[in-house]
A = this chain, B = another copy of it.
Amino acid sequence: MKILIIEDEVELLISISNFLTRETFICELAESYAKADDKLAIYEYDIILLDITLPDGNGIELLRSIKKHQKKAGVIIISAKNSLDDKIKGLDLGADDYITKPFYLSELNSRIKAVLRRKQFDGTSILTYNEISVNTESRTVIIKGSAIILTKKEYDLLLFFIINKNRVLTKEAIAEHLWEDSIDMADTYDFIYTHLNNLRKKIRAAGGADYIKTLYGMGYKFTDQ
């Protein structure tokens, strides 16, 4: 299940993301409407969490556009305690639920589950690319029918690749997604090399093709072409 979180308080954004990732959701983050717009143009999401009181634009507008272009997504509005108007407008415009700050992450979680249930998603979430498939609930990776065992970082890396298949991923982008807390280590990316190598080795050992292509000087791309 793929979730887009639109929230300008970066701390809250990160903590929501960490929490939902632990709940086996795949999260993408946007701390401004501009970034949200970019993501919304490219991907489809199952759930969109929208802080309607962001400083840089009109949340109601964004919601309207979401309902138009991402019809399948469930939308949960995050709003400050007093902005009751927004709540009502939001629900009128077709948001599926709302939650007021501050909230417990567990409450957010149960609301997401409820929305998904109402939308009648089947719950399991399996991503596939040719002979490789990843089950995000059991965190298992199957290659040619048999499971391979990955460490956390290897799994995160592979998932990030599969979600972004056929797109160039710079080392910086990878580092940001996998090590979001400490981005300031940016002088060297040696650690990526190591994990990448381990991941490639394990995929190779299981008979999977070498989908992780190196683009010299640019980054990497997960593709069969």
Contact residues of A with B, CB < 8 Å?
19, 22-24, 97, 104, 106-107, 109-111, 114, 118, 137-140, 147, 151-152, 155, 166-168, 170, 172-173, 176, 180, 183, 215-219, 221, 223, 225
| Cβ-defined partner of A23 (8 Å) among B19, B173, B217, B225 | B173
Q: Give the shortest distance, in Å, between A3 (CB) and chain B (any CB).
A: 15
Instruction: Please measure, in the bound complex, the distance between the C-alpha atom of A72 and the C-alpha atom of B52, giving whole angstroms.
Output: 43
Contact A170 to B110, CB < 8 A, known contacts A217-B151, A221-B138? no
Q: Is the CB of B183 within 8 A of A168?
A: no
Copies in the complex: 2
Instruction: Please measure, in the bound complex, the distance between the C-alpha atom of A110 and the C-alpha atom of B109, giving whole angstroms.
Output: 8
14 contacts between A and B (CB under 8 A): A23-B114, A23-B173, A24-B167, A104-B104, A106-B110, A106-B111, A106-B180, A106-B183, A109-B110, A139-B215, A147-B225, A151-B216, A151-B217, A152-B216
| Cβ-defined partner of A183 (8 Å) among B104, B170, B172, B173 | B104
Q: Give the shortest distance, in Å, between A198 (CB) and chain B (any CB).
A: 14
Could you say which residues of chain B place their CB within 8 Å of the CB of A140?
225
Could you say which residues of chain B place their CB within 8 Å of the CB of A138?
166-168, 221, 223
Q: Is the CB of B216 within 8 A of A106?
A: no
Q: Sort A-B residue pairs by CB-CB distance and give the 9 closest, nearest first.
A: A106-B107, A152-B217, A22-B170, A139-B168, A138-B166, A106-B110, A137-B167, A110-B110, A106-B176
| Cβ-defined partner of A107 (8 Å) among B23, B97, B104, B114 | B104
Q: Give the shortest distance, in Å, between A159 (CB) and chain B (any CB).
A: 12
Instruction: Please measure, in the bound complex, the distance between the C-alpha atom of A219 and the C-alpha atom of B138, giving whole angstroms.
Output: 11
Q: Give the shortest distance, in Å, between A150 (CB) and chain B (any CB).
A: 10
